[in-house]
Amino acid sequence: MKLKRFLLRYYPPGIILEYEQGGKVKRKCIDLLQLQKDTNIEIVLGEIAAREPLISPHRLDQVRALIAKLRERLEPDYKKFSLFKIMKAHLLPLTNLAFNKPGSQFITGSYDRTCKVWDTSTGEEIHTLEGHGNVVYTISFNNPYGDKIATGSFDKTCKLWSAATGKCMFTLKGHTGEVVSVGFHPTSSTVSTGSMDTTAKLWNATTGEELCTLIGHTGEIITLSYNTDGTQLLTGSFDHTVSIWDTETGKKLMGLDEHTEEISSAQFNFTGDMVATGSLDKTCNLWDIRTGKVIANLANHEDEVLDVSFDWAGAKLVTASSDTTGYIYDVRSREPLYRLEGHNGEVSKAMFNPQGTRILTTSSDKSARVWDVNSGLCTQILEGHTDDIFSCAFNYDGDMIITGSKDNTCRLWRHHV
Amino acid sequence: MGLLALLRKLHSSPTHEMRILLLGLDNAGKTTLLKQLASEDVSFVTPTIGFNVKSVQSKGFKLNVWDIGGQREIRPYWRNYFENTDVLIYVIDSTDEKRFLETSQELYNLLEEDKLANVPLFIFANKQDLVAATNVGDIAERLKLCNIRERQWQIQPCSALTGAGIQEGMEWLCKNMAIKKKKK
């Protein structure tokens, strides 16, 4: 085995080793999920050196510098966001939105049946993806590549588009209900769709061919997501349950059935051994998916839990609720750390920035709020939308935010330069 | 209301929920009617560029009422909302005689839509509190409502502003729906 080069992954922090073995180039990743801005570099370096035979003593200086660089990227940034541009994006209300990985483009879906591709640096529209016969509800880039876009529509189809030309490459037909969730496999080889028809489907993202139908839920599938290595797919349903599927065979591996009301949100942690689920039964469950058992029932909210989200390293969890608050939990201790108080309406979305230092929430009070993870305090209120905010996103660098609203506009917010 | 709430209201449960679509030209009073149904303040209503949706309890039913903007350029998008509709409520501004032809054309376009086939039609002849309002009989005649044969329909005078006539309308609606739902 011969080490060829190092690659860095900033969020969550990791060093990827590219090496040669038996004439083949392979990669492996050293995850540094515990890395903090005040972590002692020498201790981390010592652990890596002891554990990883590929890293010989003469490489240590190099690795030390890499750890320092990763640590630097975790530094909390205390800059404020300011409104950069209001995009009168669509003729009708927006649904979801998403950045590509570099943050150079973002996409918005709308009730006006289109998806638009935007240039982040100028706020100009690049393409309008037209062709759906009804609301474009769910959208996704095939990150980290960013050359394909998938759109799921109330017209019961999913379309795959070229991000470069804006041309539709395939229309994925087969669902008998609205397509309301869509996701690309981490390698971009397949795309999965979740539908109100209670099934999910896997499709070949290169040929548009249907690979299999995931049958088992008895209610609408409203959320789906892959684990980090793409071996499993998680589906959450209005039938109160969550299922985990083998993406290779399409077989159901596990059903997580403890919630007593509809699932609103479900997500794997980064290492893929845990799942967090939010439900209209007012609670959030943490599951150990090696056993399929609930390891914590987080029941602090007084009303429906509408969203749950791990931070990128999987150390913390944030929830959003109709009770107008959010909670930050410590995943290891399963204890609430902070209650996020301030919104004047239900909180529909909550997410971490990739650095794990800030949380973004949106609410029916027409504002989005930015929160400091280490104090639970609101650092900023993003105001200006004139109707409910439906969706929001951070870019990978965590210095930009987009918010999409029922008021037919989206707003781009950037760090003060 | 978030996106999740919209998904939940996309399909009604078969027994005790109804999905009601509220359509009509701009300025017909759809949003005022919706707010009146939900017992909300109707003194400040602005043109709807998109939609509003509210859930109202009535006679043992949960009514999910969708009020869709009526401006000409967004009328082509009314089709977005047709699926799973239990009742179509069409609102007419009884004082806007100049546009009776336009509103009747839009109505007949709707009645030809496959996805609205057999859906009961309920027409509110709104703004009857104003002196300039045409009476219900004349409106029915001008819109040739007697030609509608393939579905149940009813016209009801009302004032969305004062609330007059709305309760009567909703009662008719729930009574007829209860029969229909039982048959299913």
ipTM for the predicted complex comes to 0.89
- Architecture of the CATH domain B15-183: 3-Layer(aba) Sandwich (3.40)
Which residue, among A180, A197, A263, A279, would best test binding to B if mutated, counting the most B CBs under 10 Å from its CB? A180
Residue of chain A with shortest Cα separation from B49: A92
Residue B57 DSSP SS3: strand
Tokens, residue A334: 């399963």
Residue B63 DSSP SS3: strand
Q: Which residues contact A211 (CB under 8 A, 6 or more apart)?
A: A190, A201, A202, A203, A204, A250
Q: Is the pLDDT reported for residue B177 higher than 80?
A: no
CA distance A390 to chain B (A): 6
Percent of all residues in chain B with a pLDDT value above 90, rounded to a whole number:
76
Q: Does B73 touch chain A (CB under 8 A)?
A: yes
Pairing of strands B61-68, B17-23: parallel
Is B152 annotated as ligand-binding? no
The pLDDT confidence band at residue B183, using thresholds 50, 70 and 90, is low
What does each C-alpha distance from A68 to A17, A148, A315, B39, B115 come to in angstroms? Answer: 17, 34, 21, 61, 61
pLDDT for the residue numbered A416:
78
pLDDT for the residue numbered A89:
86
pLDDT for the residue numbered B179:
66
Q: Does A323 touch chain B (CB under 8 A)?
A: no
- Considering CB atoms only, which of B4, B49, B80 is closest to A408? B49
| Mean pLDDT per 10-residue interval, chain A, length 417 residues | 94 96 94 94 95 92 96 84 95 97 97 98 96 98 97 98 98 98 98 98 98 98 98 98 97 98 98 98 98 97 98 97 98 98 97 96 97 96 96 96 97 89
Chain segment B35-65, per-residue pLDDT in tens:
999 999 998 899 998 999 999 988 788 899 9
Contact between chains at B50 and A93 (C-beta distance less than 8 A): yes
Tokens, residue A143: 């990150």
Q: Does A308 touch chain B (CB under 8 A)?
A: no
Q: Does B115 touch chain A (CB under 8 A)?
A: no
Q: Which residues contact A65 (CB under 8 A, 6 or more apart)?
A: none
Closest alpha carbon to A111 in A415, A416, A404: A404
Is B28 annotated as ligand-binding? yes
- Considering CB atoms only, which of B7, B50, B51 is closest to A180? B7
Q: Is the pLDDT reported for residue B92 higher than 70?
A: yes
Residues on chain A touching B8 (C-beta within 8 angstroms) = 238, 262
Tokens, residue B107: 């109505």
Q: Where are the domains of chain B?
A: 15-183
The pLDDT confidence band at residue B1, using thresholds 50, 70 and 90, is confident
Residues on chain A touching B74 (C-beta within 8 angstroms) = 91-92
pLDDT for the residue numbered B138:
96
Contact between chains at B50 and A406 (C-beta distance less than 8 A): yes
CA B24, B30, B35 angle in degrees (round to 5)? Answer: 165
Contact between chains at B80 and A111 (C-beta distance less than 8 A): yes
- Considering CB atoms only, which of B2, B11, B74 is closest to A306? B2
Contact between chains at B80 and A238 (C-beta distance less than 8 A): no
pLDDT for the residue numbered A233:
98
Q: Does B80 touch chain A (CB under 8 A)?
A: yes
Q: Is B57 a catalytic residue?
A: no
Q: What backbone torsions phi and psi does residue B15 show, to the nearest 5 degrees?
A: -95, -45
Contact between chains at A111 and B77 (C-beta distance less than 8 A): yes
Q: Is the pLDDT reported for residue B158 higher than 80?
A: yes
Domains of chain A listed by start with CATH number:
2-72 (no CATH), 80-416 (2.130.10.10)
Residues on chain B touching A137 (C-beta within 8 angstroms) = 3
pLDDT for the residue numbered A126:
97
Q: Does B14 touch chain A (CB under 8 A)?
A: no
d(CA A12, CA A354): 7
Contact between chains at B79 and A134 (C-beta distance less than 8 A): yes
Helix axis angle for A60-72 and A41-51, nearest 10°, is 130
CB pairs under 8 A between A and B: 60
The pLDDT confidence band at residue B182, using thresholds 50, 70 and 90, is low
Q: What is the DSSP letter of B161?
A: T
Q: Average pLDDT for residues B86-109, to the nearest whole number?
A: 97
